[in-house]
């Protein structure tokens, strides 16, 4: 039965942790986005290409996380909210499909789609809240800032070459800066995290699912690439090592941290602060690490026996390092605590840099994956010996 569609009924009336089917449907578009980012990185294995991929990834993340923040306030079972998400899904699809040509002939399409995602969802929420709602000033600031920064995105889409890169770098820097400082404006002031009356457990659940989306893309890339190549012993070995690495990524995040983090934010007195730091910002290096690792997997499966080039080594070691750095920051944002095991694992990955000069891609990726597996085993042993400690420890 359709729910009432009056504006007041479109808002969430309680802290709902469940992710609705429409949100899972929406996330499918971002599988494509992650795939496109991985391929863009592989096709532009230079410092400039890495910078462009980072810029595009930050734009994709801000589009997804902004939609997640916005829909957190809505009753996702209401038909108008579903229709809004479908519209944002179409814009996200255009944005994702434009990634390969974002710095060529699809720059304007990418920018327009991104601006539509940022501005339209905010305006829809404002129209639902009405002028007198306590959250209206918060989203008025957001709408004004997104509109202003949107002009920079559009200017970049109309520009070309270095000018586009420069304008989009300014735009993405402004996106993340104004989110961090609370969208400050003259006379309207700025938002504080206590103003964000979100359902914390829902925010955590949505963020966990994006990690699953990114890991799922990594599995798809690994399987598709393996299926197109001759089944040599080295190729099979690279395929297995890549799979083990993906499982290790999943285990490090989801074995205990996922549930503990969700419990913490759901009971926090200021869930907005945790959502901003731990889930909006600290997830960025983890997502980047998964994308870089997926590119490393594809490259290694295709050329397992070849010597590890500088670019290949950067992918193989950079992916796990970024992921673990993000994990360290995430845990610090939640509990102000850093596990020694993570620091040791990062140091071990850095120590493998000299190995890259004398090894094949397969050998280097096996060594990097061994570090991740050793970290998982360390965690399991620590869990057995500290059973009496809280799960968040």
Closest CA to 10 of 65, 75, 62, 64: 75
Our CA angle for 137, 142, 145, nearest 5°, is 125
Helix (H/G/I), strand (E/B), else coil: 206: helix
CA pair distance 206, 218, nearest whole angstrom? 19
Q: What is this structure's pTM? A: 0.91
pLDDT band at 13 (very low <50, low <70, confident <90, very high): low
Query: What is the structure's pLDDT at 14?
Result: 60
**Which token pair is 313?**
């080594």
Query: What is the structure's pLDDT at 4?
Result: 41
What single DSSP character describes residue 281?
Answer: I
pLDDT band at 219 (very low <50, low <70, confident <90, very high): confident
Instruction: Return mean pLDDT, the chain.
Output: 89
CA pair distance 199, 212, nearest whole angstrom? 21
Query: What is the structure's pLDDT at 307?
Result: 92
pLDDT digits (tens, 9 = 90+) for 169-215: 999 999 999 999 999 999 889 999 988 888 888 899 999 999 999 99
11 phi/psi in degrees, rounded to 5: -85, 150
| pLDDT of 9 above 60 | no
pLDDT digits (tens, 9 = 90+) for 306-360: 999 999 999 999 999 999 999 999 999 999 888 899 999 999 999 999 999 899 9
What single DSSP character describes residue 359?
Answer: S
| pLDDT of 383 above 80 | no
What single DSSP character describes residue 6?
Answer: S
Query: Residue by residue, what is the 3-state secondary structure of 162-193?
Result: HHHHHHHHHHHHHHHHHHHHCCCECCCECCCH
pLDDT digits (tens, 9 = 90+) for 67-81: 999 888 888 888 888
Count of CB atoms situated within 10 Å of the CB of 158: 12
Helix (H/G/I), strand (E/B), else coil: 136: helix
Query: What is the structure's pLDDT at 207?
Result: 93
Closest CA to 183 of 127, 132, 144: 144
Query: What is the structure's pLDDT at 370?
Result: 97
Mean pLDDT of the region 362-386: 90
Q: What residues are paired with 307 via a beta bridge?
A: 360
pLDDT band at 279 (very low <50, low <70, confident <90, very high): very high
CB within 8 A of 117, min separation 6: which ones? 63, 66, 67, 88, 91, 92, 95
């Amino acid at each position: 039965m359709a729910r009432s569609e009056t504006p007041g009924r479109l808002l969430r009336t309680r802290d709902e942790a469940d992710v609705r089917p429409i949100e899972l449907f929406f996330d499918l578009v971002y599988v494509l986005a992650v795939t496109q980012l991985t391929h863009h990185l592989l096709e532009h294995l230079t410092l400039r290409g890495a910078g462009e991929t980072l810029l595009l990834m930050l734009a994709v993340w801000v589009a997804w996380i902004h939609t997640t923040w916005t829909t957190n306030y809505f009753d996702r079972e209401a038909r108008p909210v579903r229709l809004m998400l479908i519209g944002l899904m179409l814009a996200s699809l255009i944005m994702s499909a434009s990634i390969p040509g974002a710095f060529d002939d699809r720059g304007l399409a990418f920018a327009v789609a991104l601006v539509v995602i940022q501005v339209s969802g905010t305006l829809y929420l404002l129209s639902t809240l009405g002028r007198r709602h306590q959250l209206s000033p918060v989203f008025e600031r957001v709408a004004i800032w997104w509109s202003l920064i949107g002009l920079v995105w559009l200017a970049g889409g109309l520009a070309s070459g270095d000018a586009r890169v420069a304008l989009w770098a300014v735009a993405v820097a402004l996106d993340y800066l104004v989110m961090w400082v609370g969208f400050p404006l003259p006379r309207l002031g700025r938002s504080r995290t206590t103003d964000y009356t979100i359902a914390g457990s829902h925010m955590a659940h949505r963020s966990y699912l994006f990690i699953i989306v990114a890991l799922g893309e990594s599995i798809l890339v690994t399987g598709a690439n393996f299926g197109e190549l001759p089944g040599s012993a080295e190729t099979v070995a690279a395929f297995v090592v890549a799979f083990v690495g993906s499982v290790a990524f999943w285990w490090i995040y989801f074995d205990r941290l996922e549930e503990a983090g969700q419990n913490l934010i759901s009971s926090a007195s200021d869930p907005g602060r945790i959502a901003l730091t731990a889930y909006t910002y600290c997830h960025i290096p983890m997502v980047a690490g998964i994308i870089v690792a997926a590119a490393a997997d594809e490259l290694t499966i295709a050329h397992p026996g070849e010597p590890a080039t500088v670019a290949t080594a950067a992918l193989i070691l950079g992916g796990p390092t970024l992921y673990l750095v993000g994990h360290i920051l995430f845990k610090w944002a939640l509990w102000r605590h850093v596990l020694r095991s993570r620091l040791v694992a990062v140091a071990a990955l850095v120590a493998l840099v000299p190995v890259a000069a004398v090894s094949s891609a397969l050998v280097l990726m096996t060594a990097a994956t061994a570090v991740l597996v050793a970290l998982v085993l360390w965690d399991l042993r620590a869990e057995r010996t500290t059973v009496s400690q809280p799960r968040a420890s």
